Amino acid sequence: MNIVLFRDCQVRVMEDTVTNTEKYFGQFCLLLAAYTRKTARLRDKADKLVKQLIDFANTENLEMRTTLRNFAEDLAKVQDYRQAEVERLEFKVVNPLKLYGTQIKQTQAEIKKFKRVRNHEIKQLEKLEKLRQKSPSDRQMISQAETCVQRASVDAGRTTHQLEETVDAFQKQKLKDLQKILSDFVTIEMVFHAKAVEVYSSAFQTLERYDPERDLEDFRAKMHGVHRPHGPRDARPLTDTGPAAAAPWSLAQSAQSTMRSHRKAAASEDSSAVEDPVEDLRGQGQGLHH
């Protein structure tokens, strides 16, 4: 019975490994999927904010209008990068975790198969013990029972070895996959935030350059019915230059159209940029170890 107890201990370790993977990988998948959905909702809210900024800009004087439109353009660009972040999280983080459900079920099926073989071995051992107690002189029956026990033991040993190989391969792949999934998650987040900081810095500079005194002068002149001519001023329009008499709502619609057209381009740019930081980080890590 000692060998049976040893196999039970082996299988308990294997079963715990698979059970823990099923529990925690399932939670990782649910939480990271929720994280991705919330990021997508944040992108949608920011898109609405961009539209409101454009709408409001069209009601203001030239300096504030120009500043808000430039600021909105930067904010829209951040959402383009956030869209790329969402797509890559779904593809490189959430989907690989979803696939683990199938691998776990296959490994659990192998464990169940072993348990059936082990139970058969235990039954044969119990049968042999009963024969030895009830009919110790019946050598023929005892010999047959011993043969059955031997066959069951060989079958259990072979199944245990196969299960060891299966669970070992499962554990090895699991560790590598978790390392890659979390590395991809961190890399995707770092790339997004690095690009966002760059664009937000531009947005900050836009706000810093704003001079409220010019708009205040225009406002005071309007209140007193005085027309103030405007010379050319620096602006970064969201769309191509159109007719001078374009309606305010058409400017807002054009801004939204531009955001959609640029989103794919930014996603493509972000996608190609994700791979480079991985190599850079690995190179830095190797340099630290030398």
Per-residue pLDDT tens over the stretch 120-141: 777 777 676 776 777 776 777 7
pLDDT value, residue 156: 73
State how far the Cα of 25 lies from the Cα of 34, in Å rounded to an integer.
Answer: 14
What's the pLDDT tens digit per position in 259-271? Answer: 555 565 555 555 5
Would you place residue 188 in the very low, low, confident or very high pLDDT band (cuts 50, 70, 90)? Answer: very high
- By C-alpha distance, which of 77, 67, 166, 187 is closest to 113? 166
**Buried-exposed string 37-62: b where 16+ CB fall within 10 A, e elsewhere:** eebbeebeeebeebbebbbebbebbe
18 has pLDDT over 60: yes
State how far the Cα of 131 lies from the Cα of 155, in Å rounded to an integer.
Answer: 22
Q: What is the mean pLDDT of residues 104-108?
A: 89
288 has pLDDT over 80: no
Number of Cβ atoms within 10 Å of the Cβ of 133? 8
196 has pLDDT over 70: yes
